[in-house]
Amino acid sequence: MQLDGVLFFPVTPFDPEGAVAESVLAEHIKHGVSAGPGAVFVACGTGEFHALEIDEFERAVAVAVEATAGRVPVFAGAGGPVGAAKKFALAAARAGADGLLLLPPYLVTNPPRGLVRYVTEVASATELPIIVYQRNNAVFTPETAVEVASLPTVIGFKDGLGDLDQLQRVVLSVRSQVNKPFQFFNGLPTAELTVPAYRGIGVDLYSSAVFCFAPDISLAFYNAVTSGDTVLTQRFLTEFFKPLVELRDQVPGYAVSLVKAAVRASGLDVGGVRPPLLDPTPEHLEQLDTIIAAGRKLLA
């Protein structure tokens, strides 16, 4: 399975009682898919995987599969303790997902060889294709990246670490030693800001949280980058993405909270975020509106 284009990471809507709002999720995904992403990644980081019970997770994946209707692949999150990760993987398969994004284990410091054990055990529980996520406490060496990339069902490696020297070593090692189709992804929060740098080391795919609330801006930036329009690319980076990242960095968790708030502002009632995340302050919401307006001005 080879992915292309902008990757859509939908939020998980909650109703006023705090339950997953399935009809709103379906509407959110249908709207996103109609804009033309390369794939849907449901119940992952932007979708508050960390806050979902397994039954909620399985329903969210099922809703995404139904709403997508086979138009693009649907990947679901899995992660946490190894036993829980296996259960989430099985739930994703039952719900009809096409693949998994394997998130890092939580809290513990993971030796690289221990990460190989972790990925191997989760992969043994499911036949679904797996994209491994390097981020926070899950950091691979080039050697261990080759080991996990060599597992039959591992098809990709998503980087949320941002160490380009380390990632370049991983990319070169895997591409020279793993003889199968394999893709690398830029998975940094607000990935667009680093797209030119990642493309410089041969990593073209990236996840776009902006696609959730402004697919027009997300796709315009993607088209500017892929067509070689460096002037427009720089304007998007300077006038939209840089201010968005600066606002995001003011409060931990805003990489999710701001996205969800922007989806609400677009007219879809997706509710707020679950603890321990916080919804943006009124002042920050005003700043967010201004940033989005600046991004839309560039569409002309």
Could you list the active site residues? Answer: 133, 158
Where b means 16+ CB within 10 Å and e means fewer, 249-282 reads eebeebbbbbbbbbbbeeebebbbbeeebebbee
Tokens of 186: 């830029």
Q: DSSP class of residue 137?
A: T
Contacts within 8 Å (CB) and 24+ apart, 192-195: 192/218, 192/221, 192/236, 192/237, 192/241, 193/237, 193/241, 193/242, 193/245, 194/162, 195/221, 195/225
300 burial (CB, 10 Å; 0-12 / 13-18 / 19+) is exposed
Contact 79, 49 (CB under 8 A): yes
Amino acid at 111: P
Question: Residue 92 corresponds to which tokens in the numbers above?
Answer: 């994703």
Sign (positive or negative) of CA dihedral 59, 64, 70, 75: negative
